[in-house]
Chain A
Amino acid sequence: MIPQVMHPMFAKPVHDEAARQGFVNDFRVHLASQIFPGNIQGYFKRVLPAFVKENKREPKDRHEVRRVMTKDPYYQLWSAMQRSSQEMIWDSVIDSVERQLPDLIAKAAALKGKGSLTIDPKLEIPRYNTAADIHLQPGAYHGEAGQNDLSAGAIYDRGTFIYSMGALGEHNDGLGRILHGFFRKQWPDRKIERVLDMGCTIGGSVSYWSQKEPNVEFHAVDLGAACLRYGHARAKAVGANVHFSQQNAEKTNFPDASFDLVTSHILLHETSRPAIHNIMKECHRLLKPGGLMLHLDLPQAAGQSPLEGFLWEWEVYNNNEHFYGQLRELDVAEVCAKAGFDKATFKIHQVSSTWDDGQTPYSDENFTFPVYTAEK
């Protein structure tokens, strides 16, 4: 596996913990590069011909592909191994976090730096976050194992690095790099003074933004207290200046017209349909007149072949990414219009996963993220 930069808050693994994490990473690389392509071969050489023979036509959509592919032994074995590898990620990471947790909590308290942290112990965690642990992270992103706990954040920092097989880069902040790079390419001269990042988890993305735009006041909200505590400490450790607060992005306590820019990095697909409507309404309320919002997320179903569409939805059915399914078909333009945005300002950009410095940690350099933008 490629090395991850160990900032001062990083839960450094000892020998066997590191070896276990390295194995899971390399196992997932093998599954992705060597085993996964067999699903495509199997579909065209075995599953599709059988379907055509029986139905005298090809599958009309990804749902029909699902019905036949989930019975294919090769797919079943890949899928079961992929699921196991996901469980193994967390198992390999929790050991090192659990072992060092009291030290990490002490370290977070002692770290000097900029920004702030506001925790709301009374915040109600919505059901779309409590029904199942997203990405199979035990205890979920909002879980707390005790006072001042930051374990969910420490686990997330290492776990998502292994999950993405290093695709988020050595600082695990690739999504922030992609969105910030896109923003400055698209709006090079735009003046911003106050920015809000919604659903920031450990603030990897917003901390990168803060490092690139040191004169801007950055705020970041998330449901998870442990992720925010870790995020605040991590931001201090990397020299970022971010004001973190535990809030639901559907309804924050910021006054109307507070921000020039509102961003999110893969937040929308973790929220329910009513929540997305509320989040867009909140974006509209929070933006100053002329303000801009940028939401980076995962690809929608439109334009994908039935097989591609089916394969993209593995996470929906096998990795507790239940709400990604509904985002894949959602008319985001309509949601934004209902929230008060002028439809003429709404746009879906397909943004390259290549960073602005030319690096492409993604194995597929042609991969793009949809970024939904609208102006108030």
Chain B
Amino acid sequence: MAEAEKKPIKLPRTAKGKKPIYFDPTTDKLLSMVLTLMGELSVVRDRLDTVERLAEKKGVFKVDDIETYDIPEDVNKIRMERRSAYIARVLKCVQDELDQLQQQGDGMNVDLPQ
């Protein structure tokens, strides 16, 4: 077959048939998202592992250099800030609830339709 004839073909991605409801439709979707993210994190970790192993094989650095990496203070500070922001971002939905509890009695949102 000539290259010109090798056109991309789109395949179906959704199975036909009624999907059961386990908790409620939204929670079910959230669970699917969490599991997909779990998978994607695993994919990234595998890819990083490949990078580390190739780097060692090609003599760039040894995997053990990562394990024994002595973190300089300025790098440590940057990482702490990044970690803190990361945690806050992931836990934002919990923080939102806390914020709203604290806002009760402050007169906020009381005029909004229920």
Contact = CB atoms under 8 A, between A and B. Distances in A.
A102 B8 contact: yes
B17 A79 contact: no
Interface string B65-83: 0000000000000000000
A106 B6 contact: yes
B10 to A, nearest CB: 7
Contacts of B5: 102
A138 B35 contact: no
B16 interface: yes
Nearest to B18: A132
Nearest to B22: A80
A81 B9 contact: no
B13 interface: yes
A20 B46 CA distance: 9
B38 A131 contact: no
Contacts of A22: 42, 46
Contacts, number: 108
Contacts of B88: none
A20 B8 contact: no
| Secondary structure dominating the interface of B | loop
A92 B36 CA distance: 10
A101 B11 CA distance: 10
Nearest to A143: B12
Interface stretch (A111-119, A144-152, A351-359): A144-152
B9 A149 contact: yes
Contacts of B103: none
Contacts of A137: 15
Which 9 residue pairs across A and B have the least CB separation, nearest first? A132-B17, A102-B6, A80-B22, A19-B46, A139-B12, A133-B15, A136-B15, A106-B1, A23-B42
24 contacts: A24-B39, A79-B22, A80-B31, A91-B13, A98-B11, A101-B9, A101-B11, A102-B1, A102-B7, A102-B8, A106-B1, A106-B6, A131-B17, A132-B15, A132-B16, A132-B18, A133-B16, A138-B11, A138-B12, A138-B16, A139-B11, A139-B12, A143-B12, A145-B10
Given A23-B42, A80-B31, 18 more contacts: A19-B47, A81-B35, A83-B19, A83-B20, A84-B35, A91-B13, A94-B13, A98-B9, A101-B9, A131-B16, A138-B11, A138-B14, A140-B16, A149-B9, A155-B11, A317-B20, A318-B20, A320-B15
Interface of B: 1, 5-20, 22-23, 28, 31-32, 35-36, 38-40, 42-43, 46-47, 50
